[in-house]
């Protein structure tokens, strides 16, 4: 029994925005109304889970964790009634929406990479007749003028 290893499958995310989108989808909440306290707790739980398995954390995930804490602290501060403050989640929501659009476009392009129905091309134009060959002739002014006039007419 000592030699048996416990295998645990962890989902690997390409970046912190993908992890946040996964947490929002898992909790079935809207991007526009992020429950920052709940999502922050789950985000840190995910980071702690990776620490236990000695997987190196990238700086992007730690920066996002710090940003989530900043947003959480701004939301806990008392609001002044006389001045209308913007939602501290606004920037994060915009970045999540942009990331989601890029991810959807990437999947579309990957799915249709070799689909011929989206390939367009132009048929080559037909050439009327070949240009006259003057290489075997002696060059005199009359022939040059005649060739020049033919070219000008075309």
Predicted confidence (pLDDT) at residue 68 exceeds the cutoff of 70: yes
Q: Which of 27, 38, 45, 30 is nearest to 93 (CA)?
A: 30
Whether the model clears a pTM of 0.85, i.e. scores above it, the answer is no
Whole-angstrom distance, CA of residue 46 vs CA of residue 18: 13
Residue-wise pLDDT for 118-148, tens only, equals: 677 788 888 888 888 878 766 778 878 888 9
Confidence band, pLDDT 50/70/90 cuts, at residue 98: very high
Question: Would the CA dihedral through 67, 70, 76, 79 be positive or negative?
Answer: negative
Residue entry with tokens 């129905």: 117
Residue entry with tokens 């048929």: 123
């Amino acid at each position: 029994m000592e030699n048996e290893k416990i295998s645990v499958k962890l989902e690997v995310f390409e970046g912190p925005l993908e992890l946040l989108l996964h947490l929002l989808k898992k909790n079935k909440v809207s991007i526009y109304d992020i429950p920052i306290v709940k999502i922050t707790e789950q985000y840190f739980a995910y980071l702690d889970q990776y620490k236990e398995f000695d997987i190196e954390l990238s700086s992007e995930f730690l920066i996002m964790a710090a940003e989530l804490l900043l947003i959480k602290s701004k939301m806990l501060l008392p609001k002044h009634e006389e001045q209308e403050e913007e939602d501290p989640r606004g920037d994060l929501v915009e970045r999540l929406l942009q990331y989601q659009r890029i991810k959807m476009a990437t999947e579309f392009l990957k799915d249709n990479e070799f689909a011929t129905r989206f390939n367009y091309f132009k048929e080559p134009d037909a050439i009327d007749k070949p240009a006259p060959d003057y290489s075997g002739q002696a060059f005199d002014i009359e022939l040059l003028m005649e060739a020049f006039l033919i070219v000008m007419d075309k």
